[in-house]
Amino acid sequence: MAPRTLTRGKRMELVRVALGWTQEYTGDRVGLSQSTISYIEHDEVEPRFSEMVKLCEVLGIPLETMIGDNDPGRITITFDTPPPPPPPRQERSE
């Protein structure tokens, strides 16, 4: 089986999930809607370059991680700056 290369959307999703962030929280920090973040992660929408730059800033990762070629067998993410803590989990009232 040939190694699989991760798409930009999947790379973004992996970082977001590793940070413990929701799509909504990420979108709020970037200025995009939750649905737009979902479309990007599912590779249904290609973000504008300016949006990709902002996403990388907010996620605390180098732009090259999102737009460069990666070893298809492994993705290594090095944070440039410590990312902010994840949002507090909200308890659901029933």
Q: What residues does each domain of the chain span? A: 8-67
Our CA angle for 59, 46, 49, nearest 5°, is 60
pLDDT above 80 (res 8): yes
**Residue where the block lists tokens 């440039």:** 80
CA–CA distance, 8 with 13 (Å, rounded to integer):
9
Long-range contact list for 50-58, CB < 8 A, 24+ apart?
52/8, 54/30, 55/12, 55/26, 55/30, 58/26, 58/29, 58/30
CATH of domain 8-67: 1.10.260.40
Lowest mean pLDDT among 5-19, 42-56, 60-74: 60-74
The percent of residues above 70 in pLDDT, for the chain, comes to 68
pTM over the 0.95 mark: no
